[in-house]
Amino acid sequence: MKLILAIVQDKDANILSNEFIDANIRATKLSTTGGFLRSGNTTFIVGVEDDRVEEVLELIKQTSHARQQFMTPPANLDPMGDSSMPYPIEVQVGGATVFVMPVDQFHHF
């Protein structure tokens, strides 16, 4: 048995959740925040048998898309340095960060 932690962008979370339901994969969905942009993410916790790990990973790959987004870096407020306002830059966001870990024991009461 494996424990899969999948961190996806909020924009992809509902589609992935529906895919898990259609595939009869039980998942716990947590609202999380983090990353470079401190944007909203969703973390899925999934416990599956070893033979279903690739199926879960494929669903995550199909539904979690990287995209481009503009963000403005923090202003430099150093009184001795250049205090000009920064310009927006384009960064890649989205996709998924996935951890697959072995499970020694599983109990469902």
Q: Which candidate, 60, 84, 87, places its Cα nearest to that of 71?
A: 87
| pLDDT tens digit sequence for 31-61 | 988 765 567 889 999 999 999 999 999 999 9
**pTM, whole model, 2 decimals?**
0.78
pLDDT of residue 80: 63
pLDDT of residue 100: 98
With beta carbons less than 8 A apart as the criterion, state whether 60 and 6 touch: yes
Strand order, beta sheet including 2-9:
27-34, 39-48, 2-9, 96-102
CATH class of 2-101: alpha beta
| pLDDT tens digit sequence for 58-105 | 999 999 988 777 777 666 655 665 666 677 777 766 789 999 999 999
Amino acid letter, residue 49:
E
